[in-house]
A and B are shown apart, each in its own frame.
Chain A
Amino acid sequence: MADFFSSMRVSASGLDAQMKRMNTISSNIANAETPGYKRKDTEFTATADRESFGEILKDKVDQNTQGVLVTDVRDDTHPQRMVYRPDDPHANEEGYVEMPNVNPVKEMADMISTQRSYEANASAIAAATQMANKALELGR
């Protein structure tokens, strides 16, 4: 049987995942000029909503309500930016410094998208709370 706590847990998992994504983006922006830093990317995976053993059993039947989980924070595989700066202590033998492949514009766009997703999850929790409170009015 469905309940509102399930909906709230799912939305909370969404808030958590978006928060982690935001942390990764901040890290990318902060390190946009750090030699040797590699851009990080979060990997989202849908996961069955479950709290207890009983619910794990139940999930064998009902797989429709899914939360989200950050399963990995990977390095971006795009090539690093090589900048010619022979005086830099980080420079290699040819005088090139390995700069991160961070594109600030892309990071900003990702940040806005993350913020919108976060807000959507927060609204979902607010809606579930409102509906649960409304149901309690039946007893008044």
Chain B
Amino acid sequence: MIGLFDPTIRALNQNLNLREENQNIISSNIANADTPGYKSKAVSFENAMRDAMNTEENVKLEVSAPEHIGSKGPENVTADVYDDPNGVESLDGNTVDRAGEMAKMKENEILYNASVESLRKKIGMLEYGVSEGGGNK
């Protein structure tokens, strides 16, 4: 079935959710940069997202009954949060790298903005379609 919202829109939507979660984790790390014993946390979802997108296009598990497990669509991708293995422990047991977190935060922000822009373009195209190629745009 081809719905109004294609996999790209659903993937972008989920990508925004995951980047939001990433922002939460990063700000949590920054807030706790001086907390003794706090372990820096990292988020990963890029690989899971890529796999989900590839599955969508190439291989798809057939679902013939509601209890069957189908392919994992992009909207089912979840963020994997774990203690950062690259963290260097300081004297008080804290592993937060402040500069690194700031860089990650900026990267996350830029990629979030990129996803919003792509989503706007996608929605713009849908609008163009539903207004029969003309409209007031």
Contact = CB atoms under 8 A, between A and B. Distances in A.
A18 B26 CA distance: 17
Given A64-B41, A135-B16, A138-B123, A116 B98 contact: yes
A56 interface: no
A117 B33 contact: yes
A7 B116 contact: no
Nearest to A49: B28
A17 B24 CA distance: 18
Contacts of B33: 14, 117, 120
B30 A14 contact: yes
B30 A124 contact: yes
Interface residues of A, number: 39
Interface in A113-140: 113, 116-117, 120-121, 123-125, 127-128, 130-131, 134-135, 137-138
A68 B109 contact: no
Interface string B22-42: 011111101111111010010
Contacts of A46: 32, 35, 38
Interface string A16-47: 01100100000000000000000000001110
Nearest to A44: B35
Contact of B116 (A45, A49, A137): A137
B34 A44 contact: yes
Interface in A83-140: 113, 116-117, 120-121, 123-125, 127-128, 130-131, 134-135, 137-138
B105 A138 contact: no
A4 B20 contact: yes
A70 B62 CA distance: 54
Nearest to B37: A46
A50 B21 CA distance: 15
A2 interface: yes
Given A44-B35, A44-B36, A66 B17 contact: no
A47 to B, nearest CB: 9
21 contacts: A2-B17, A2-B21, A4-B23, A8-B27, A13-B31, A18-B34, A21-B34, A46-B35, A49-B28, A65-B25, A66-B28, A67-B32, A68-B32, A68-B35, A117-B33, A120-B33, A124-B26, A131-B112, A134-B116, A135-B16, A138-B120
7 tightest A-B CB contacts, nearest first: A14-B31, A2-B21, A44-B35, A124-B27, A7-B27, A65-B24, A64-B81
Interface of B: 16-17, 19-21, 23-28, 30-36, 38, 41, 81, 98, 101-102, 105-106, 108-109, 112-113, 116, 119-120, 123
